[in-house]
């Protein structure tokens, strides 16, 4: 190896070593000051979970009051009134899910107007239950040939079930 080449190589080596010391010194500083920990994922996780714990423990964050803006574990928000739309099996109208119970009350006869509707039940049944009783025109003990359209295929017998409880056993 020519002397120039040797000298150059040696000088390059010294430069490199000097830069290595600089990098080591900087990393030493970062390690001792804990500056690197900010990038670590587990630290991030710990911080996020601590934040979440604070939020849960805070009494002003009760679910009911803020349900408009509360986010569930999948990150979804839900409107305070369920807004899926389907058809009422009684009258066939399109109803919003969150408004179904009040609709059903009217539709099935709790309300004054509903009782005036022409139904498939025999008029005898209608007359029997028409005096101020909150019971609908669909009696479970009906001897009519009609089947209740609300019953999802079960024939009329004792105790048909209506999920939002507007139907009362006589």
Partner 1 sequence: MKTSINRPPTPDAEEDQDHQPTLQEIINIKMIESGEKERLKELLRERLIECGWRDEMKALCRAFARKKGRNNVTVDDLVQVITPKGRASVPDSVKAELLQRIRTFLTSVSI
Which of positions 18-37 make contact with partner 1 (CB under 8 A)? 18-28, 30-32, 34, 36-37
Q: What is the C-alpha to C-alpha distance for residues 117 and 104, in angstroms, rounded to an integer?
A: 14
Helices (H), the chain: 3-33, 41-57, 100-108, 123-128
Query: How many residues bind to partner 1 according to rule CB under 8 A?
Result: 31
Interface residue with partner 1 among 1, 5, 73, 81 (CB under 8 A) is: 5
Per CB under 8 A, 43 contacts partner 1 = no
Q: Smallest gap, in angstroms, from Cβ of residue 44 to partner 1?
A: 16
Nearer to partner 1, 40 or 87 (CB): 40
Is the Cβ–Cβ distance between 134 and 118 less than 8 Å? no
3-state secondary structure of 67: coil
Stretch that binds partner 1, among 4-12, 75-83, 108-116, 122-130 (CB under 8 A): 4-12
* 30 vs 52, beta carbon nearer partner 1: 30
Contact by Cβ (8 Å): 108, 121: no
Q: What sign results for the dihedral spanned by CA atoms 41, 42, 44, 49?
A: positive
Nearest-approach distance from CB 31 to partner 1, in angstroms = 4
Alpha carbon distance 95, 128 (integer Å)? 30
Residue 119 neighbours by CB under 8 Å, 6+ apart: 126, 137, 138
Least Å from the CB of residue 69 to partner 1: 40
Q: Using the rule CB under 8 A, give the single segment among 2-10, 53-61, 98-106, 137-145 that binds partner 1.
A: 2-10
Closer residue to partner 1 in complex, CB, 27/82: 27
User: Cβ 63 to partner 1, closest distance in Å?
Assistant: 40
Q: Residue 130 gets which letter from DSSP?
A: -
CB neighbour list of residue 75: distance below 8 Å, 6 or more residues apart:
none
Q: Which residues bind partner 1 (CB under 8 A)?
A: 3-5, 7-28, 30-32, 34, 36-37
């Amino acid at each position: 190896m020519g002397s120039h080449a040797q000298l150059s190589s040696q000088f390059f080596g010294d430069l490199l070593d000097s830069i290595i010391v600089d990098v080591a010194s900087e990393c030493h500083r970062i390690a001792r000051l804990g500056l690197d920990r900010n990038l670590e994922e587990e630290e991030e996780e710990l911080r996020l979970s601590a934040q979440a714990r604070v939020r849960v423990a805070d009494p002003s964050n009760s679910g009911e009051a803020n349900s408009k803006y509360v986010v569930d574990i999948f990150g979804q928000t839900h409107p305070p009134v369920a807004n899926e739309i389907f058809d009422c099996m009684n009258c066939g109208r399109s109803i919003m899910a969150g408004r179904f119970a009040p609709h059903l009350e009217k539709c099935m006869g709790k309300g004054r107007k509903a009782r005036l509707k022409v139904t498939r039940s025999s008029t005898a049944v209608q007359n029997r239950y028409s005096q101020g009783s909150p019971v609908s025109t669909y009696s479970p003990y009906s001897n009519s040939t009609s089947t209740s359209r609300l019953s999802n295929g079960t024939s009329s017998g004792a105790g048909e079930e209506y999920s939002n409880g507007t139907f009362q056993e006589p």
